[in-house]
Structures are given as structure tokens and as C-alpha cells.
Amino acid sequence: FFFFYGCSPSKMTKGTSSFGKRHNKTHTLCRRCGRSSYHIQKSTCSQCGYPAAKLRSYNWSVKAKRRKTTGTGRVRYLKVVRRRFRNGFREGTQAKPKKTTQSK
């Protein structure tokens, strides 16, 4: 083995012990998902896959799918669809005028 003068073998590594000496940022905020996962040099997000058109999701991470799937947010439009489904998606009809009872 060849060691530099004054360096122990544990310090000459590219792994855990040298990660503390790193200063440059590899990732920054993603404009689509908002996480600090946008790789600056690669220009891709490791979380959502931006700038790809489709969101990044894999079957091997079921938990991640559960966190990001439909129904975890406001579901603003789907609430309306649910109501329309119950009434058979009727369109262009008017509500019948309520009959007022005249009291004498």
C-alpha cells in the first residue's frame, strides 16, 4: 500500500468521512414539486422528474405513490364530479319551480 506522508488510510476516502468537507450545492428547489431535489448540472429533478412531461413515479416505491396520488390535496374538481355522478351527469335541465302553498 502507498500512503501520502501524514495521511492515515481512513482519511483517504471518497465516502462518509469526506462528505463533511463538501461545500457546493448539487440540488436546488424544483419549480414543479417545490422540493430541494432539482440537480443543477443534470437539470432534472430527482423527486418529480421535471422537466419531463410526466411525473416520476415507480411501483417499487408504493409509499411514495401513496403520498403523491390523487386525493392527497384539495381534489377541487373531483368533488364536483362526484356530485354530478350521483345525478347521472344531467345537463341543460332546469329545476322545477317549487309549488308555494297559499295560506288563508
73 belongs to a structural domain? yes
Q: Is the pLDDT of residue 3 over 60?
A: no
66 belongs to a structural domain? yes
96 belongs to a structural domain? no
10 belongs to a structural domain? no
Owning domain of residue 29? 25-86
Q: Is the pLDDT of residue 8 over 90?
A: no
Output 31 or 8, whichever has higher pLDDT: 31
The mean per-residue pLDDT over the stretch 52-80 comes to 96
67 belongs to a structural domain? yes
What is the model's pLDDT at position 102? 76
- Grid coordinates standing for 14? 471518497
Q: How many domains does the chain have?
A: 1
99 belongs to a structural domain? no
100 belongs to a structural domain? no
The mean per-residue pLDDT over the stretch 83-95 comes to 95
Contact 47, 33 (CB under 8 A): yes
Domain containing residue 30: CATH number? 2.20.25.30
